Amino acid sequence: MRSPPLAGLRVLDLTRLLPGPLATMHLADLGADVIKIEDPGGGDYARVAGAVHGGVSYFELVNRNKRSLTLDLKQAAGVDAFMRLASAADVIVEGFRPGVVDKLGVGHAAVSSLNPRIVYCSISGYGQDGPYRDRAGHDLNYLGYSGLLDQIGVAGGAPAVPNFQIGDLLGGSLNALVGLLAAVVDARGSGRGRYVDVAMTDGVFAHTLFPLLAVLGLGQALPRGEDLLSGGMPSYGVYATRDGRHFAVSAMEPKFWQTLCTTIERPDLAAFAFATGSQGQAIRRELEAIFAQRSFAEWTAVFERVDCCVTPVLRFEESLDNEQLRARGMIVEVAGVKQFAPPFKISEHPFEARRAAPAAGEHSVQILGEAGLSTAEIDELRSQKVI
């Protein structure tokens, strides 16, 4: 069997909560040796704060396949131990506010002077420079500054708050992976690492393509719910069924729209797939009335027989049991906890849950021993409460 794609990659993970831990879990799932470095005592805040519904913490969902080392970086002995690990590492990921790691003595300049091939990735809300660099923020703030939040929702309503952390996960986790893996490829060839500065606000802003198209063509973004894909075209939208469920209609191509019109026995609507303005709204009202005539189950039976990009809007618990997602192996159990499998399938690399999310400091002795510390040195660190 082939080795995992990232076998041999050593990652020091200083991140907490969600964006950084998810990014490093993807690295761990791909075979990297990810060492999660946590404060002695409580460790990552998500161990407690992540149990938002009183059950499983999201910590367990984003930290599998990692090892945990507790280390007090506010003590000189902790910094020294970290630098010994960093001297042999390939990647460091941190998610503190700008300047914090430098004050601790474990920033990019300090590490790269010791290990020139290190790839050092910083994930923050607004980036390492600019007037907002020191501001606090959360996902909703990043969506607000990027202009995206103003675009989400129905016409005439308030901005909708998504139950999906677009800034954290798209802006933070996935963009960090792109940047740091590109730098790893380069470092393996050149022997020189890079500093990767990822701002979650930048990550959202750089993907708001349709609002930008409106600005370039019209001079301003269209109001919420009025752009082509947010309510402006009847062929793209969400329609309520008789029993209060919904269907997603994405029949933008003429062939799909025509099939939809045939299926609902309204061939007279076939010419209006791209209708906008008052005409588009009139056609949308026609579709609303049609979908309201049947139940969710009835429409599901109807559209399962045709292929025109019209699908049920599933509740999340229904998605967990969806035949397509199950066939793709997207739901796995790790230590009895249901969670998502990696969203990429790579040949000759079946998913393997080598470890459940670790207890804080579970692997401290093992990791420090690998770094060359003696049993006596490790015991001294423990006595000083460095680990």
Q: What are phi and psi of 127, to 5 degrees?
A: 100, 175
76-86 vs 375-383: helix crossing angle, rounded to 10? 140
The residue from 168, 197, 202, 227 that is catalytic is 168
Who contacts 99 (Cβ-Cβ below 8 Å, separation ≥6)? 134
The verdict on whether 44 is a catalytic residue reads: no
Who contacts 55 (Cβ-Cβ below 8 Å, separation ≥6)? none
3-state helix, strand, coil in the chain (%, to 5): 40, 15, 45
Q: What is the DSSP string of 263-301?
A: HTT-GGGGGGTT--HHHHHHHHHHHHHHHTTS-HHHHHH
What secondary structure, in 3-state letters, does 216-245 show?
Answer: HHHCCCCCCCCCHHHHHCCCEEEEECCCCC
Nearest to 159 by CA among 172, 142, 143, 138: 143
Q: 3-state DSSP call for residue 329?
A: coil
The verdict on whether 80 is a catalytic residue reads: no
Q: In what order do the strands lie in the sheet with 310-312?
A: 236-240, 246-250, 310-312
The residue from 102, 134, 138, 379 that is catalytic is 138
Q: Which are the catalytic amino acids?
A: 138, 168
